[in-house]
Structure 1
């Protein structure tokens, strides 16, 4: 029964974007959507295939994925570690919370010029801005997840003199994982947004670079190829993260 529901969910995940693309194609053929401004999915696919054959799209996708993967890891790992410490220690939380509260509202893309001074206009500044954007979301969610663990579980573990490593592995980490993954999924979307925005500026490769240069030269088909590429990459990355969540948190039910 559980497998059947999982299969249905995955089928719906696939059918929904397919239905949207089919409707888009029909409206384009009927002339409801002007091909001058919004190409049909078939035209976008044809243009994308040509860009793949020339290698241009693959280079841009590889550049963006490289920056995204490193930036996401550099932001998520420290975010989880610091969030854990903040959730467990009120003195550390009192010390770091004002700093996070002050810096978090600043639009991370606004920090790009400053980061370019430190890391240059190459990959370093783009990786850094992604890492900064991811760090705050993950740290805040991890802190909330640790603080949200029922005190009863911690008290029972302490009453049985549970060693700290075992307490962390069996109680604290499992209790905080759902909120941590919520933060990771939110930060993944923000990472894509920040990365593409950063690639608009002083970049010679990347999906954001493809979209921006296509807009400047009014090559609308190429611009939509870049937009669809980001959509597909975001969908695949979200799917991988969700499957990882299913594997690490098997007790969490999606039947609700």
Structure 2
């Protein structure tokens, strides 16, 4: 055999001709005997997964509104559209406090205060002036008349000051009551919303717990769906880690 033929033989093929021949070789994957049973399992599992139809989740994915939430939301809606029963009951009293209501005791209080001023004038100032006029021996004395007139003017001014101060103080008190009534009205109006929002928060806690349960059930279902794929991956991983190869050669000779 010449060198060229030797080279052809080494490469696995030979040029046909006199005194020559040809050879072929092939290789295939080989598995250890203990791994071979997995081949049928992998084939069967792969076929089952391929033929398996789409399967949706049949459980509840998201928690619905619970009764507490629905009651709270309905209450908020009713309060916004229909007003508050508590507010309706307090409305009359609040309106009186916010209005310009006349103090039924104020006029009497002013009259009593003015009477006190008049009494003080009659018991003190007036006797002094009359005594001075008597002592002068003349009731027509212009100086004494002027003093008397000044005393009366001072009396009228004092009476006016008493009325102005008392009525003014009453007005200021009334305005203060108005501002306080406004604050009370706001508190009454918002209390219903405060209570309903607290109820809504309780309902939200119930819903969160229901949602946690729904999420857990979905995770369990998803793990069940993924389980065949995990098994298939494990088996194919073992097979690929233990696979080897074998080579077979076939020679056909010439003359």
TM-score grouping bracket, smaller chain normalisation: under 0.3
Structure with the largest fraction of helix: 1
TM-score (norm 1): 0.22
Larger Rg: 1 or 2?
A: 2
Relative contact order, CA 8 A, sep 6+: which one is greater?
Answer: 2
Structure that is richer in strand per residue: 2
